[in-house]
């Protein structure tokens, strides 16, 4: 069991680049600091796209990524308002 618990979920399954990142940014902007957003995606490119976005965006932290058979799960924490 992970030591973090997502408090919100965003389902972008079936959407391709750049929509997983665009939708993740939109949803993160709506959340309070400290919230962990779980993002469910089917686009394999989302692994590098969301990681790159989080690395270059102030106020967010990529907590973890999991690669399943057909689904890629990302955990992004909003670190500041």
Work out the angle at residue 18's Cα, subtended by the Cα atoms of residues 17 and 22, and round it to the nearest 5 degrees.
140
User: Is there a contact between 51 and 63 (Cβ–Cβ < 8 Å)?
Assistant: no
Residue of 7, 8, 15, 17 marked active site: 17
User: Is there a contact between 50 and 20 (Cβ–Cβ < 8 Å)?
Assistant: yes
For this structure, is 80 an active site residue? Answer: no
Mind telling me the catalytic residues?
17
């Amino acid at each position: 069991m992970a030591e973090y618990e997502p408090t919100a979920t965003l389902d972008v399954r079936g959407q391709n680049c750049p929509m997983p990142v665009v939708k993740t940014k939109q949803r993160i902007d709506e959340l309070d600091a400290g919230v962990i957003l779980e993002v469910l995606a089917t686009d394999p490119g989302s692994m590098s796209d969301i990681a790159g976005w989080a690395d270059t965006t102030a106020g967010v932290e990529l907590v973890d990524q999991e690669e399943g058979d057909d689904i890629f799960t990302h955990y992004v924490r909003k670190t500041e308002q």
